[in-house]
Amino acid sequence: MIYKLVKKNIMRTAILLATIFMTLNISCATGQKNSTSNEPDMNNQLKSGTNIYFENKTINADLNFTNLLPPINESNGINRCYINSAITFRQCTFKGKISGYVTESSGKSTMTYFQKSVSFIDCIFDDDVNLRGAIFAAPVNFQGCSFVKKADFQECQFYTDAFFNETKYREEAFFQNSVFMKKMILMNARFESNVYFQNSVFYFDAQFSNAEFQKYADFTVCTFQMGCFFNYCKFQQQAIFNSSVFSNRFEILKITANKVELRKCYFGFVPKLMQSDFSELLDFSSSHFAMGIPVLKDITTKEILASEITSCNKNYTSEEFLKASGR
């Protein structure tokens, strides 16, 4: 009798343990499955204009904003696809391409218009990100993102604040011919390859402080209408600002750089370059300073070029420029 009871209890315990084990397996499998997003559902949400939010997901497929809705034909051979969803991705990994720009064989281009906020926060992009020509009508946030391949934001229009702080770029990054209507924040960014901002316009403050530029940094023919800040930056190769306009404050404090060229620039305020190391060259040749010669305090460099300088209706020789700047 006792033997039968013990045997019966052992069988019940075995069945209970088996049930618990199967439940754990199902739960684990379900959790693993949920770690990868359902791309068709995401696309359907974007098509319907529903706001989307994904966190801690892996997106394996390409995300192409230009084929979600029928584009509207605009002038000059450009189609525009309007996205009416607020987009938020947090700590997601994108295995495929991110596209907001395509060119057909006929030469016609399709670009994207984001009507609501776009946020990719602490995300990883394993493939190309091409949002060339995009219009961002609401805040855009790429804070803490890592771009493993090319990042293309050229010819974009940012109508509100653009946050790219703490971003990392392993390959080339393109921001040329873009318009920033509000603040552009690129603090603590790291560019491991070349970065291009040529011919871009910054209508409000441009904040690049503490950024690291390991290769070529091109800011030629840019227009900075408000403050422009490069404090604590590291330029390991060339930083080129030639033919740019600095209408307001231009500050460089405690930076390290190899060569910095500021040739043929216009400075609306007195620029300040202080406590910085320009190891090879600092070039101001042919620049105009509307409010006075720049302040050069506690800087080190092998050579300063300052030929054909003008300031306050006066022409300066190199010697006069260096003396007036405090060198």
Per-residue pLDDT reduced to its tens digit, 220-248: 999 999 999 999 999 999 999 999 999 99
Residues 175, 27, single domain; the answer is no
Residues 65, 24, single domain; the answer is no
Report which residue type is found at 98: I
pLDDT value of position 23? 41
pLDDT value of position 38? 58
pLDDT value of position 191? 98
The list of the chain residues with pLDDT below 50 reads 1-10, 13-34
Per-residue pLDDT reduced to its tens digit, 169-217: 999 999 999 999 999 999 999 999 999 999 999 999 999 999 999 999 9
Q: Are 226 and 204 in contact (CB under 8 A)?
A: yes
Length of the chain: 327
pLDDT value of position 219? 98
**What's the domain count of the chain?**
2
Residues 48, 4, single domain; the answer is no
Share of the chain above pLDDT 70, in %: 88
Residues 25, 132, single domain; the answer is no
Residues 195, 282, single domain; the answer is yes
Residues 3, 137, single domain; the answer is no
Strand partners, 112: 81
pLDDT value of position 313? 86
Residue 274's domain comprises 42-324
**How far apart, in Å, are the Cα atoms of 311 and each of 161, 221, 251, 268?**
34, 20, 18, 10
**Mean pLDDT across the chain, nearest whole number?**
88
Residues 17, 151, single domain; the answer is no
pLDDT value of position 68? 86
Residues 78, 226, single domain; the answer is yes
Residues 5, 154, single domain; the answer is no
Residues 213, 243, single domain; the answer is yes
Residues 13, 86, single domain; the answer is no
pLDDT value of position 36? 61
Residues 73, 144, single domain; the answer is yes
